[in-house]
């Protein structure tokens, strides 16, 4: 690891993302460790990004991520050129006091742009809609999703309820949405599994058939950190609502259980 020898960037964005990875080369193969991929991007030298390192860190806390990222910036001589942070919206990154973005900004001793991941920023929007409609879920796992996952095998899936839209302008948007999703799913490189499932479920709930036909994936993760779960579960729960027979007492009971 050395400092940039040719064309060092005059300004750059710092990216980092943590992931649990299995050790395949170390002294204890098969064990998993928290790792952090750190890179920078910025014209003219590195518009597509340059990987600085993938260190193993003790934990996924904001402090650990900030310290590892800062060590790499110092090793590469880049502390003076960082003008933006690119990160996902987990609390360990975006926390206003101990989030990695805030701690790195303090260590750099200047204000930088916060560029939250365009995918993860939707977590905030989807979460706000869910909370407004059904109340705040304070437990790590959503009890609504847990129940739906438990009863999934008991549901009859051959006649899902679809969305009925009467307004003319909304029907126009519905048509446009279906055309876009069909095009995406027919592309040579369709989206990854969870995004693909969301696109297919959206087509089904809008009364259309995906290119691969209608098939149902077994409900997966129910943890609050998996923002995509809200989209996938909400659509399935809507399409099979008549069989689920949720009532107001059930909703109140679940919400109360997560507040304790």
Is 231 strand, coil or helix? helix
- Please tell me the predicted confidence (pLDDT) of residue 216: 93
> CATH 3.30.420.10 residue ranges in the chain?
12-116
Tell me if 40 sits within 8 A of 49, measured CB to CB. Answer: yes
Question: Tokens 């069909």 appear where?
Answer: 182
Model pTM score: 0.62
- The pLDDT tens digits of the residues spanning 103-143 come to 999 999 999 999 887 666 676 777 788 788 877 777 777 88
3-class state of residue 20 by DSSP: strand
More confident site: 184 or 222? 184
pLDDT tens for 65-91 read 999 999 999 999 999 999 999 998 777
Q: Which CATH class is domain 12-116?
A: alpha beta
Rounded CA-CA distance 239/70 in Å is: 48
pLDDT at 260 over 70: no
- Average pLDDT of the chain to the nearest whole number: 84
């Amino acid at each position: 690891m050395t400092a940039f020898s040719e064309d060092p960037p005059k300004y750059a964005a710092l990216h980092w993302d943590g992931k649990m990875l299995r050790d395949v080369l170390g002294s204890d193969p098969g064990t998993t460790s928290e790792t952090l991929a750190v890179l920078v991007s910025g014209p003219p030298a590195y518009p597509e990004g340059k990987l600085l390192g993938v260190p193993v860190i003790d934990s996924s806390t904001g402090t650990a991520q900030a310290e590892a990222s800062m060590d790499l910036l110092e090793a590469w001589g880049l502390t003076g050129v960082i003008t933006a942070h690119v990160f996902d919206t987990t609390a360990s990154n975006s926390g206003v006091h101990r989030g990695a973005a805030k701690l790195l900004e303090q260590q750099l001793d200047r204000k930088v742009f916060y560029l939250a991941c365009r995918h993860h920023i939707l977590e905030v929007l989807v979460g706000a809609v869910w909370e407004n409609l059904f109340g705040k879920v304070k437990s790590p796992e959503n009890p609504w999703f847990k129940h739906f996952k438990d009863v999934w095998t008991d549901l009859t899936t051959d006649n899902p309820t679809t969305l009925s839209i009467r307004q003319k302008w909304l029907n126009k948007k519905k048509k446009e949405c279906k055309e876009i999703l069909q095009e995406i799913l027919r592309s040579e490189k369709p989206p990854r599994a969870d995004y693909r499932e969301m696109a297919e479920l959206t087509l089904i709930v809008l009364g259309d058939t995906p290119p691969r036909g209608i098939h149902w994936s077994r409900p997966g993760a129910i943890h609050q950190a998996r923002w995509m779960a809200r989209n996938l579960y909400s659509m399935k729960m809507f399409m099979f609502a008549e069989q689920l027979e949720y009532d107001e007492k059930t909703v109140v009971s679940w919400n109360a259980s997560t507040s304790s």
